[in-house]
Structure 1
Amino acid sequence: MAELGLNEHHQNEVINYMRFARSKRGLRLKTVDSCFQDLKDSRLVDETFTVDEVTEMLDGLQVVVHGEVESELINTTHTNVLLLRQLFFQAEKWHLKLQTDISELENRELLEQVAEFEKSEFKSSNKHALRNGQRGQMAANTESIKPKLAPLNEGGSAELLNKEISRLNEENEKLKARLKTIETQATSALDEKVKLERTLKELQKIQGDYKVPHNTQEINNLEKTVAALKSDFERTLNDSTANKKSLEEDLVSTKHNLLKVQEQLDMAEKELERKFQQTAAYRNMKDILTKKNDQIKDLRKQLLKYEPED
């Protein structure tokens, strides 16, 4: 199979676009064929025609075919611009600057290489589809395990916002776990403080009851030890309170960031939907469907003239 020198992911993207272009091209060719068929059905009803009549029919056909071909060329150009726009948007999000070489678009060797690639790729695809049609249920199983192409938009703002939301959620869970641990430590410190205060009161009571001179030095040492323990406990409690306050502030800030990112994601989705409704491809497809519906109505009216009544 012919290759384009791209990696597997990018080559699959090219194949996906070529499949889209082939579908559009097939629809336009059917439209051109219908122009000729309409001329045959509506004008070629006599056995002989004058030169003026033939010239008039060909001029009318030329106008219709010219309009169809021009519309398709314009639509193809606009479609290619939209494709380049997607690629440039993805590059700008990573602060990249892409460059194009217009002269390469007329490189006959490369054009032939692309034509050979399209021929070999879709030829093998047609054989595979025919084989699947003959095997029945095996085709459904094969299709179910076939990897699907990821849309271009997945690599854009939506994916980045989803990753940022996941990261913030993970950080939020970590902060909650740390806060719970510090609350447990603070509770234990408060219990220890109560025990120390109770012990201090008991020592003070003992000091008041016993005034023996040889125990004075021992009591003073005990008081110093208790004061040191109390000071160390208060310092530990203050540090725990400061850590708890800092974690609460971090948790509030993280929640605000999460809500902000979610709001940006909703706005980005709405903006993408609105821009899609305004694209030339959407309007062209709507015009084509309207025109086809009018042609079908005209054909039905013409058929009713020649169809015998029951």
Structure 2
Amino acid sequence: MADFGFNELHQNEMINYMRFARSKRALRLKTIDSCFQDLKDSRLIEETYTVDEVSDMLDGLQVLVRGEVEMELINTAHTNVLLLRQLFSQAEKFYLRLQTDISELENRELLEQVAEFEKTDFKPNSKVNQESSKPKLAPLNEGGVSELLQKEISRLQEDNDKLKARLRTLESQAMSALDDKSKAERALKALQKSQGDHQKDLQDSLVSAKHDLLRVQEQLSLAEKELEKKFQQTAAYRNMKEILTKKNEHIKDLRKRLQRYESDE
């Protein structure tokens, strides 16, 4: 069995694609065969032909065969694009960036491995993945990038929970400081009516309460900045920022084009 380093699921996916490609190839070859047969049935009805007549028949056959081959090559290229679209769409859902090496498409050694794989492993009557007639792309619950991504998400979630708990504590302290301030103000007003001598002490208490409130507010602001910094360091934020930047650049370009078109009109 040819070994491409794939697991069983991906091996079956590759076999399914090769089966699809073989069926399309066989259909196109039948069409080319029919072109030759039509020529025999419609034009080769006499025993002798002139050079011009033979040349005319060959030219017509060349146009038909060339059209069929070109159509198959174009269809194959478009089909491969759709296959890449499925893979890239799945990768982007997990913030992965896939890269291709076009030079490997002409690697003779790898091409020979594929040919050998088709001869030895890919049998027309073999029952490969029959339980799933329409296989769907799905993330693997195995190790690797998905597991690392999940761990990173869990770690960030844990940090986020800690920061939220700290924020709740600071908010409680701020509310307590505000309550103390309110009580001090009420006591100050009451004492101002009855005893003017105690005003200085109460004012000092009020100033101290204000200082405590400012200190708590500063701690709360620092905690919020720390939470924002943690979020900005995540891959999701960076990817989102990159996408928004590209969108803005695209919108600016469209506006410039629109202004240029309106100027021309």
Output the TM-score relative to the length of structure 1: 0.43
**Higher RCO (Cα < 8 Å, 6 or more apart):** 1
Alignment TM-score, normalising by the size of structure 2: 0.50
The structure having more radius of gyration, on CA atoms, is 1
